[in-house]
Amino acid sequence: MVNRALISGVTGQDGAYLAALLLEKGYEVYGTYRRISTPNFWRLQYLGIFEKINLVPVDLADMSSILEAIQIADPDEIYHLAAQSFVEASFEQPIATADVSGVATTRFLEALRQTRTDAKFYQASSSEMFGSMGNNATPLNERSVFEPLSPYATAKLYAHWITRIYRNAYGMFACTGILFNHESPLRGLEFVTRKISNAAAKIKMGLEHELLLGNLEARRDWGYAPEYAEAMWLVLQREKPGDYVVATGEAHSVKEFARKAFEVVDLDWEEYVKIDKRFLRPLDVECLVGDFSKARTELGWASKTDFDKLVEIMVEEDLNRWQRWLRGERFPWDAPNYPSEAKVLTRALRM
């Protein structure tokens, strides 16, 4: 019997890697996406799985839309990854973030409760929920106190707790993964890691001359996204539902990330990186580092890609992208990273 999975937010970094993993394991994969004027399927195309996903348009603000997606997919497992996941944007759009990243989880859980399905449910929680508790650089685990410092983190905390409530109140197989920062070449350019790797590549190619950043001292526990997708899957393979911190156990600063990125292209980061106050958040978490002991013990999971290798992977792929671009090669998955991306992607999808 073939397992069926429904991934909300399949077009995002985590959704794409998780879809690829599940396809390798023989799953029939359904993925929800938000209808926009310019389709955002480049990550699925990049991984070569676009044609293998059953795509279902869903409005996370509409309960009937979620119910329809569940009915279409008839899933054994649901991975709820869709969210407004950019911390800075959550300060600009706090109400929308609260609904999409928080309340939408309740809609999914209530849809499952009403349909009486026995599908297993995974909620993508976030290390940002710990907020100021991370500032003493003590590794944080499933029992640590939450003190969110952004609308995004607050919305995620609501989603985290409502998942636990539905699990305990209704006996649902509902789990959470408290994932610390995880990056890859599929990360969006609005995130600082990809912003750095892309800028280092462009500066090396002579296409840019400086990189503007905000808080260089912020420290995060950065892992490799494909490995974190595996952790999500492992969470739903347990006999009993639970909550799991997924992390590397090491924290590195934005400054360290920039230094390593420019080192990969044989440049001195200090000659190109400038501080721009526009990129400073109203409130910022100084440090987040995770204790993944439970995941290691119960899931048999541990990260395999260290910090230096992660940065190297991202910078080298951005170099490859820009080299292809300069040679005149055009691929659908390159579109969101370069000028006139809407025109390029639209043209590619029509071919």
* 114 and 59 share one domain: yes
Q: Is the pLDDT of residue 11 over 70?
A: yes
Our answer to whether residue 128 is catalytic in this structure is yes
Q: Please state the domain count of the chain.
A: 2
Question: How does pLDDT run across 339-349, given as a tens digit for each residue?
Answer: 433 333 333 33
Catalytic residue among 85, 101, 125, 126: 126
Which tokens belong to 95?
A: 């109400």
| 123 and 229 belong to one structural domain | yes
286 assigned to active site:
no
Residue 219 has pLDDT above 90, yes or no: yes
Residue 326 has a pLDDT of 86
Task: State the helix-helix crossing angle for 254-264 and 192-204, rounded to 10 degrees.
Answer: 30
CATH of the domain at 267: 3.90.25.10
What pLDDT is stored for residue 277 in this prediction?
77
Question: Which of 85-89, 91-95, 112-116, 192-196: highest mean pLDDT?
Answer: 192-196
Per-residue tokens: 155: 């919305």
Tell me if 293 is assigned to some domain. Answer: no
Range of the domain at 277: 192-220+258-286+314-350
Q: How confident is the model at residue 92 (pLDDT cuts 50, 70, 90)?
A: confident
Question: Can you read off the two tokens belonging to residue 342?
Answer: 């809407």
Give tens-digit pLDDT for 327-340: 888 665 554 444 43
Q: Are residues 51 and 158 in the same domain?
A: yes
Considering the domain boundaries, does residue 252 fall inside one? no
Q: pLDDT for 38-67, tens place per residue?
A: 668 999 999 999 999 999 999 999 999 999
Catalytic residue among 152, 158, 224, 228: 152
Q: Are residues 159 and 214 in the same domain?
A: no
Domain check: are 227 and 214 in the same one?
A: no
Q: 67 with 150, same domain?
A: yes
**The pLDDT value given to residue 284:** 75
What DSSP assignment string belongs to 189-246? Answer: TTSHHHHHHHHHHHHHTTS-S-EEES-TT-EE--EEHHHHHHHHHHHTTSSS--EEEE
Q: Which of 1-5, 241-245, 274-278, 320-324 has the highest mean pLDDT?
A: 241-245
Catalytic residue flag (residue 8) = no
61 and 201 housed in the same domain: no
Domain co-membership, 19 together with 108: yes
Q: What is the pLDDT of residue 37?
A: 52
Out of 183-192, 241-250, 252-261, pick the least confident. Answer: 183-192
In the set 28, 77, 128, 256, the catalytic residue is: 128
For residues 197 and 68, state if they share a domain.
no
Kindly state the DSSP code that residue 252 receives in the 8-state scheme: E
At residue 23, the pLDDT reads: 98
DSSP 91-109: HHSHHHHIIIIIIHHHHHH
